[in-house]
């Protein structure tokens, strides 16, 4: 089955700086890569996703890049704000099932 690894496990950044989270996957058939944000005690919420036919996607301060050859994808958050503090999960899918990374706890210092 699919194995998704996520790094780092924790990330502390100064407000206004950028944050980068990296994930690798094992199943070359995976073709859909979403990122979820989960605040404490809340549901995971989709923040951005990318499909395997695209190398990069951007939505305001958030961007995701995908390297299919290397089987890795990354989340980039620019101009971080205190409300960006949360746990972020990457995931990979080839069909209906999402395989998640272990998560990155992002703390934005004011």
Which chain residues interact with another protein by CB under 8 A?
Answer: 4, 6, 32, 34, 42-46, 49, 89, 91, 93-103
CB 33 within 8 A of CB 49: yes
Closest contact distance (angstroms) between CB of 48 and another protein is 12
Residues 36, 88, 76, 1, CA torsion sign? negative
Question: Toward another protein, which CB reaches closer, 34 or 77?
Answer: 34
Question: Toward another protein, which CB reaches closer, 66 or 91?
Answer: 91
Question: Toward another protein, which CB reaches closer, 76 or 94?
Answer: 94
Q: Give whole-number Cα distances, 16 to 13, 39, 42, in Å.
A: 8, 20, 25
């Amino acid at each position: 089955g699919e194995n998704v690894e996520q790094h780092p496990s924790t990330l502390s950044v100064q407000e206004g700086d950028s944050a980068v989270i990296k994930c690798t996957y094992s199943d070359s058939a995976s073709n859909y890569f979403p990122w979820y944000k989960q605040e404490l005690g809340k549901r995971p919420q989709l923040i951005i996703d990318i499909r395997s036919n695209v190398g990069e996607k951007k939505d305001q301060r958030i961007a995701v890049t995908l390297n299919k050859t290397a089987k890795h994808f990354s989340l980039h958050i620019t101009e971080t704000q205190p409300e960006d503090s949360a746990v972020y999960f990457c995931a990979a899918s080839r069909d209906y099932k999402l395989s998640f990374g272990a998560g990155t706890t992002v703390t934005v210092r004011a």
